[in-house]
Amino acid sequence: MLLGENDISEVVSAVRAILDSSTVNQERQRCTQKIEELKEGDPAKSVPIAFKLLNQASDVSHVGWNIIEHVIRYKWNDMPADIRVTIRDGVLEYMSAGKYSLTSENLPTKTFMSRNLVAMMEQEWPQNWKELFDQFKAIILNGTLHAQAQMVFIVLKRLIENVITYSNVTNFLRRKELSQAINLIMPEMLAVTIDRIKMCIDAGNTDASIYVAKSAIELLSESVDWVVGRVLEETVDKMIEVLCAYLQVANHGIYETAANCLFKIASRKRAKTDETPIVLSMFKDAPMQSIITAASLAASVSSANVDHYNYLKALCDLLSALGIHLSEIWTYVKNPPPNFSLYLTAIFSFFTHPSMCIRSDVSQVLVTFASHEQISKTKEFIAAIKQVIPHIPKNVEKMGSLDDTTSMTSYYARMDCEDDVELQRDFIQLRDRCLRFIRETLDADHIEQYLQQLSQWINRVIVENDSIAASEWESLKRYVMVFVATAYQKELVNDEVDAKFVLMFNSLMTRLETVGSAKTANLMLSIPSSFLQLFEKHSELIPSFFERLKQILMISSDDLEIVALKRHAISLMLKVSSSMPNVIQNHAELVYNIVTTTAAHVTIMQRANLVQVLGALSNLAQPNIRLSFLQSAIQTNIEYFHGQTFINAISSVPNFMAYIGLTSPADPDEKSESVYYLNRLELKAHLCTIDGVLQHVNAPENQSNPLFQLLNPILQTFFELAHCLNALKDPANQRLVHNSYEQSVTDISASDRHQIYCTVMEADDQEPTESTSFNPTDRLRRFISDITDMIQSIIGLCGSKLFYDFYSLSNIQQFFRSCVMDLDLIIDFRLRYWIRRTWRPLIRSCPIPKIVIPFASAVIQHMQQRLQNDSKRQPSELLIPSGAALFEDRTLLVNVIATLCTFLNCCDSQTMLRALPITKVILGTTFNVLDEQGANFVLIQSIQSLQVHGADDVAKGPLLGLIFMIYTNLRPRFPVLRNVLQQIPDQTSDSVIAFDERVCGMAQQEKIGEKHRREVMNKFLKSVIAKNVGEQHKRPSHLRVLQPMMRPVKNNGENGSGDISFETLFGNV
């Protein structure tokens, strides 16, 4: 068809009008519509125009390429053969001419060209384009063709990406044929690509040779991680040789490209037997020497610029992947490969590099080798361990920051991390790996070296304690904790080691007596706490230890650092008293005297924690004196809750609000110590005491807990207090809040909001950044949150610790009813903790089902109603497998299943995924009690969930498995379920019957894999499964149906499809 100049000019003008910012929107829309009409119009007109546009400037030529690609993808099957030939010849002519730069200057053109050529290959290759690869080889091996060779590599890389890497070819049959064809040409493709790289090496480091070699290496990188091992094995030595040749060539970044390709080879995840020769090839002399030399050179200049540093990280990734891969195939290697010592030397060098990212990567290799049964015993790795141990302390200490400009660690951190959160995550990863290395390598051969290092470290901090940074104290604490615990766990603590532990402990405790700074003393106190296991053998250390803690608690000062030091001392007393009862038994009187003596010298909140020590000690007392012991410990607390002042305070919600100051003007600051502040402090302290004592007092088996007799008179006050706290959200009570407080005073605190953020956004659980100064609303909000947590714990512990008598109370039903009377007022965030801390232990500990069933039923009914009314749905953690007995109640069962189905169809896929395991457990135990209506409901709801979550690949698989389980378990009892499947779009009665017979047959077979079950369900339910946004708006592209590859093509002078021939491909090259 002949085109006039006006046709071309009109299209060019339209394109430029679209790109011109001064064009009005109406004109731009008209021009855009014109271009779209051209694309959708007759190819006989659009294709010639498109090729004419290729000769225009770059701002216009891209439209020509777009039109060509559009025609290939969506109109290829309907076009006459002559137009296909025109498109083929035009694209190949442009490609063969090589009138495009090797650099990225013409990258859009090369991208369009490769996309169009690959699109034609997807339609015709290999059946109708057999000679294509032979002609590609001719281009590749022609040393005079640089741009064309680069384009061939780009085309092959894109073909592999579309077919194998990303599986973009939607037609399964064509994708399979293309994959088979690619696998058939892989041996030759790898060979000729390597030959061309050798030609580039021989040509020197010219720009042309570097660019061609770089594209060739990128093709290899796209191929080596999936190609069959036997195919790669044939060329791997030559491939590694040519790649190593470029490790020291920085031109155009080819050294990093080569390193990344070697990394792909080293990190292949294939059958271990196939990988053995491939991995060992990289341990040969030449490759290993090249890699090590390149790493050494890169390390020496890595601080010069970011490119050199990225290259060093690429080499680090390569060596790390090689080590991990070696550990996986060691069973087949049996002995260390050549240059294993040289490899370990390189890993050690990386471990001492200033970059935290690099050290973290290689530490993974060290941990992998250390935990490997055979590698850890090789003489080479044992020697490496001795080199690594001296550098562990610096790697478990947080050093550097993004703001620091004095250290190299900080310099590299600014290149690796975007913010402090990412830097902290990298450090935690490095520290955890180093601590695991200690656990794995601590044995009889290395304990002496570790001991010497620890002794020197402790001696230094004792002498220089005032100049030791807090980060080093933290690292020492973690080091000691892991080292001592592992030494005892592996039974390495002989008499000699034990004596050294005692010496370190005594040295630290002695030095503590003379430390002048409370802050330093607090940091130092964390070190001897790791040696507490010494008390089991050396009980003589206990008196001096507790006496030193007593001296700390007797310090009279309100300084914040002193308060923190006392808090630490109390926690150590509680730790020893609760975790080492047999050891502390002979010293119980000493501990008791210390507690009673120091109680007057600590704050009211610290006293609450100190009394918990007596609760732990009560477990050691004889049964006949245990009651009096506990009474002496918590009598003051009982009197407070039994006192008329507190009873009046909780007699109504307004009274409670007045008691804590919600209805009065806010305190100007925390130091004012108003009556309301003192009321709040006193209430919090007494609740903390009761909560702590309940946690630490053991519940005797099959007999009454003495603590019950003491708490019985005040149990009702706990439930009344819980009512007052929950009812604060009542609008009537909200109106009573004094206007000096914000209305959000009864909402969740900032730390709670941070926790929600970390959960929803899957962020790291870092501490929230809060101001050091709180306004009155913040302080009161925190108080309400704290005492709510305590009352939740206390009520739950009443069920789990006092169950022998608690559930026999005459008013137990009243207690349970009070737990659910304010369900509508509990905010969503706190509801989950009522379930976890209170309701779950109450239900699990109840020995009388008839008591707990009405309570559980009320909770489940409320949950279902809340989920229907509230967009913020929370999965219940109340349902557990052992609770199956609760489902004997029909009402409860119906409500539970309805709630679970609501979870399955909620809009939050994370919530659905959390509820899915519970749903499987509940349904799996109740299939036999469901009636026909319930079976229909469950099946319909589970299928509907695919319409909500089917676009989520993570959620779709488990849902398909659930539907298979539901149908195969219920279908034998309820044939009517087949009617549900007949409502699936695109399904006929015959297809439903066939599917029904198939899945029912599969259900009777034991060896049907979960993957197969999901595939069967996915195929049948495909029409109801939700599609992601891309699939919803993607225009279908239909590939041609070609002759099967196994069938020989007739040689009758015509193409197999009867239209075009490609025998003259690249004929003009």
Which residue shows structure tokens 């790795």? 381
| Every domain of the chain and the residues it spans | 228-236+246-253+265-441, 443-587, 930-1032
pLDDT tens figures, 698-707: 988 888 899 9
pLDDT: which is higher, 451 or 853 = 451
Give, to the nearest 10 degrees, the angle between helix 58-75 and helix 43-53: 150
Q: In the prediction, which pLDDT does 3 show?
A: 47
CB within 8 Å of 21: residues ≥ 6 apart: none
Dihedral, CA of residue 66, residue 69, residue 75 and residue 77, to nearest 10: 170
- Give me the pLDDT at residue 763, please: 44
Find all residues with CB under 8 Å of 249, minimum gap 6, and list them: 205, 210, 255
Look-up of token digits 């010592």: 341
Judged against a pLDDT cut of 90, whether residue 188 lies above it is answered with yes
Contacts of 464 (CB under 8 A, 6+ apart): none
Give the N- to C-terminal CA distance of the chain in Å, as an integer.
Answer: 27
Chain segment 642-674, per-residue pLDDT in tens: 999 999 999 999 999 999 999 999 877 665 678
Taking residues 712-720, report their average pLDDT: 94
C-alpha distances (whole Å) from 457 to each of 273, 463, 464, 504 are 46, 10, 10, 10
Report the alpha-carbon distance of residue 549 to residue 512 in Å, rounded: 10
Assess contact for 857 and 889: CB atoms under 8 A. Answer: yes
Please check whether residue 46 is in contact with residue 71, taking contact to mean a CB–CB distance below 8 angstroms.
Answer: yes
Cβ contacts of residue 406 below 8 Å, gap of 6+? Answer: none
Q: In the predicted model, is pLDDT for residue 243 greater than 90?
A: yes
Provide the b/e sequence for 812-850 (b: ≥16 CB within 10 Å).
beebbebbbebbebbeebbbebbbebbbbbbbbbbeeee
Please state which of the ranges 107-121, 858-872, 1050-1064 shows the lowest mean pLDDT: 1050-1064
Residue 770 clears pLDDT 50, i.e. is over it: no
CA–CA separation, 740 and 777 (whole Å): 8
Label residue 447 by pLDDT band (50, 70, 90). very high
150 near 102, Cβ under 8 Å? Answer: yes
Output the DSSP codes for 654-678: HHHHHHHTTTSPPPSSGGG--HHHH
355 has pLDDT over 90: yes
Range of weakest confidence among 163-177, 886-900, 912-926? 886-900
Confidence of residue 878 (pLDDT cuts 50, 70, 90): very low
Structure confidence at residue 1012 as a pLDDT band (50, 70, 90): confident
| pLDDT at residue 789 is higher than 90 | yes
In the DSSP assignment, the letter for residue 1044 is -
pLDDT at position 26: 93
pLDDT over 50 at 793, yes or no: yes
pLDDT score of 1050? 43
Given a cut of 80, whether residue 678 has pLDDT beyond it is yes
Collapse the DSSP code of 944 into the 3-class scheme (helix H, G, I; strand E, B; otherwise coil) and give the result.
Answer: helix
Q: Report residue 1008's pLDDT band, with 50, 70 and 90 as the boundaries.
A: confident
Q: Which pLDDT value is given to residue 640? A: 95
Q: Report the share of the chain in percent with pLDDT over 70.
A: 91
What confidence category does residue 883 fall into, taking pLDDT thresholds of 50, 70 and 90?
low
Residues 861-885, mean pLDDT to the nearest whole number: 56
pLDDT tens digits, one per residue of 407-421: 999 999 999 998 888
Looking at residue 764, its pLDDT comes to 46
Read off the DSSP letter of residue 1004.
T
Which H or E element spans position 340?
A: helix 340-351
Among the listed residues 398, 395, 400, the one whose alpha carbon sits nearest the alpha carbon of residue 453: 395
Query: Residues 6 or more apart from 528 whose CB is under 8 A from it?
Result: 505, 508, 509, 512, 545
Query: How much is the mean pLDDT over the chain?
Result: 88
Stronger pLDDT, 436 or 5, i.e. the higher one: 436
Q: What is the pLDDT of residue 868?
A: 75
Relative orientation angle of helices 653-660 and 675-696, to the nearest 10 degrees: 110
The predicted-structure confidence for 83-117, as pLDDT tens digits, reads as follows 999 999 999 999 999 889 999 889 999 999 999 99
Instruction: Give 1015's pLDDT tier (boundaries 50, 70, 90).
Output: confident
pLDDT, residue 887, reads 57
Residue 759: per-residue pLDDT: 55
The residue behind tokens 């590099």 is 353
The span from the CA of 840 to the CA of 820, in Å, is 13
Q: Are 347 and 305 in contact (CB under 8 A)?
A: no
The better pLDDT of the pair 1006, 799 is held by: 799
